[in-house]
């Protein structure tokens, strides 16, 4: 289910995109960034990731103002939430909350709630999840088309960092 933000893009100043999977998950979520950049050209778009490689690979993406890494790869759920608490408190000081947050498919619901509360996200938009649609890329394309109807598989961001390239091509090829 997708919870959409009501009304036109006027007044949207800050958007938080969250994908706490690996690099491949973030790559499959990337068409959403392009669509958001088109729909909300004046908004600050921040990406929250749980992969250092994704942080480095997506830092040059022109649609993103900031890419932030948080370590949510802890064994205990409580320890996964602590970095999100710290991120949320820092982001409140920096941007005074987000107009809305866009959450990738497959995100742990507890991490989503913690991120929403501590980062002061006013509205949540989430990608549909398989089996509603055949795979993660299709789910993310479906979500992105709510912001830009021209988005397609060709809008997947393929990183230029050499160490990320093989993982990136593998993530995209298995979805076709």
Is residue 36 within 8 A of residue 45, CB to CB? The reply is: yes
List the beta bridge partners of residue 19: 49
pLDDT band at 164 (very low <50, low <70, confident <90, very high): low
CB 112 within 8 A of CB 106: no
H or E segment to which residue 94 belongs: helix 77-95
**Closest alpha carbon to 57 in 165, 140, 137:** 165
User: Contact, 4 vs 101, CB < 8 A?
Assistant: no
**What does the pLDDT look like over 116-160, one tens digit per residue?**
887 889 999 988 877 778 888 899 999 999 999 999 999 988 766
- Rounded to the nearest 10°, the torsion over CA 129, 101, 36, 99 is 150
Nearest to 151 by CA among 65, 63, 67: 63
| pLDDT tens figures, 72-101 | 766 655 566 666 666 666 666 566 788 999
For 3-52, the pLDDT digits (tens) are: 454 444 568 999 999 998 888 889 999 999 899 999 999 999 999 888 88
């Amino acid at each position: 289910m997708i919870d959409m933000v009501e009304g036109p893009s006027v007044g949207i100043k800050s958007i938080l995109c969250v994908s706490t999977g690996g690099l491949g998950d973030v790559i499959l979520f990337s068409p959403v960034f392009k669509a958001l950049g088109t729909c909300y050209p004046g908004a600050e778009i921040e990406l929250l990731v749980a992969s250092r490689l994704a942080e480095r690979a997506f830092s040059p993406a022109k649609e993103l103002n900031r890419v932030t890494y948080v370590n949510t790869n802890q064994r205990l759920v409580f320890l996964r939430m602590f970095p999100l608490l710290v991120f949320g408190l820092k982001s409140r000081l920096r941007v005074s909350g987000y107009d809305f947050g866009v959450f990738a498919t497959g995100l742990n619901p507890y991490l989503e709630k913690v991120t929403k509360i501590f980062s002061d996200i006013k509205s949540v938009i989430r990608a549909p999840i398989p089996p509603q649609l055949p795979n993660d890329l299709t789910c993310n394309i479906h979500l992105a088309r709510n912001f830009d109807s021209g988005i397609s598989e060709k809008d997947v961001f393929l990183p230029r960092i050499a160490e990320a390239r093989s993982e990136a091509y593998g993530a995209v090829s298995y979805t076709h």
